[in-house]
Structure 1
Amino acid sequence: MDRLLSVFKITVPEKIFLKDPESSSLGKKIVSHGIDLIDEIGFEAFTFKKLGAKIGSNESSIYRYFESKHKFLLYLSSWYWAWIEYQLVFETHNVSDKKEKLTKAIHILTRSIKEDSKYSHINEVTLSNIIINENSKSFMTKEVDQENKEGYFEVYKRLVHRLRDIISDYNPEYKYSSSLASTVLDGALHQHFLRAHFTSMTDCDKTTTPSEFFIDLTINTLNP
């Protein structure tokens, strides 16, 4: 598996960017420092002008990679979900027991993130904070239907479909596998947010994780 990890390349839908940031040191710098800046000041306050000042480059150089900060957020979210999808596939591919596979899949999709040293220009822990706080802003726009048609959310949707298929394999009679899968994925972000900011609104805390909650919820839903 380590050999496969070393050759695996995360891919993001090409329409999201003008120039692949993975293709140059400047592009990687834009992504790396962009993640840090969004985490520091929030997406609303984030601008390419501020990012340019942070990396010591002209604002125009960033526009050669992304046409807007919205597209930049789409890139970050797509990269994150592709990275999560990769973990899901490789950590469950040899699991034959259906309940074990479902439980493991939910754990992978809802657990707290640890940094992956294989991607030195991306801090996955910081990126996870951005996804928890800002992910909905990537699709709650007037342009969402057109962007969906153009494939901007294909990685995110594919990840939901993978979990849906694992749920259906566990209980083929359950009628709402897509709804349950998307609820787990989006709900995990919400529970992580509540655990950090609105502790009275969740049972998740330092000892009880969102993973435990969603595993319990899913298994009990599928086995009433």
Structure 2
Amino acid sequence: MDRLFQSIKLEINDKIYLKDPQSSDLGKKIIEHSIVMIHELGFEDFTFKKLGAQIGSNESSIYRYFENKHKLLLYLTSWYWGWLEYQLVFSTNSIEDKKEKLRKAIEVITREVEVDSSFSYINEILLNKIIISEYSKSYLTKEVDKENKEGYFVIYKRMAQRLSDMIKGVDPEYLFPTSLASTVLEGSLHQYFLRDHFTSLTECTKSNSVTHYFTDMVFNSLKIEING
């Protein structure tokens, strides 16, 4: 059990921040209010000046934690994927049946997000909405290759590898386990975006869930009965 908790500890690449925001009350306030403001304003209109005014602090104090708002977005997205990885490992660790393990993993990755009381300064529901609408902005940049080499996306990639390994556990002969895994991770965000903004482009609704769609897609790709 100790090894399990070590593997799912939420640790963010220290190259992303100048000072760990989890180390102080001000840092936690920066994270808490940045989530609310990015959700309300959108990433483009969000600025450290506006954030400073909101939390009653100098703009310069925020720059002591993050070099720029891109690094803040990288921090928020890394935290989200680390938190989701925690949920994934905790929910699937004791499941022996490989098909059931994969089914549960898909559920954890694609289900509606609820607030986790373990982190009082982070609203996971709002953070999830930011990930749905803003995550691609963290890597669709000219610096993506450099940042990838520096490990900025390691948690997201590790999540994809965990799911890929579960897919291979169910069907070792399947040729595209990593492609399928990354499709589930990225595609689930896109389906929620479509559900909320372009309803004519998806069958996913509250009753016909995103989880149902990706469970069906994965097990049909593997040509294995979901409940078989």
Question: Shorter-chain TM-score: which interval?
Answer: over 0.9
Partner of 1:36: 36
Aligned residues: 220
Residue 90, structure 1, aligned to residue 84, structure 2: no
One-letter code of the match for 2:40?
E
CA deviations on 1:153-195 (whole Å, 9 max, x unpaired) are: 0001000000000001110000100000000000000000000
**Percentage identity across paired residues of the two chains:** 61
One-letter code of the match for 1:40?
E
CA deviations on 1:94-143 (whole Å, 9 max, x unpaired) are: 10111101110001001110000110000000000000000000000000
Residue 49, structure 1, aligned to residue 49, structure 2: yes
Residue 71, structure 1, aligned to residue 71, structure 2: yes
One-letter code of the match for 2:65?
Y
Once the 2 structures are TM-superposed, how far is the Cα of residue 9 of structure 1 from its aligned partner?
Answer: 4.3
Residues 171, 222 of structure 2: 8 Å contact kept: yes
Q: Aligned partners of 1:207 and 1:127: how far apart in 2?
A: 23
One-letter code of the match for 1:142?
K
RMSD: 1.3
Partner of 1:205: 205
Residues 9, 86 of structure 2: 8 Å contact kept: no
Q: Aligned partners of 1:9 and 1:59: how far apart in 2?
A: 30
SS at match of 2:114: coil
Q: Aligned partners of 2:165 and 2:217: how far apart in 1?
A: 17
Unpaired segments ≥5 residues, structure 2: none
Once the 2 structures are TM-superposed, how far is the Cα of residue 10 of structure 1 from its aligned partner?
Answer: 1.4
One-letter code of the match for 1:157?
K
One-letter code of the match for 1:92?
T
Q: TM-score, normalised by structure 1?
A: 0.96
Once the 2 structures are TM-superposed, how far is the Cα of residue 206 of structure 1 from its aligned partner?
Answer: 1.6
Residue 165, structure 1, aligned to residue 139, structure 2: no
Residues 1-224 of structure 1: pairs in structure 2 closer than 5 A: 9-223=9-223
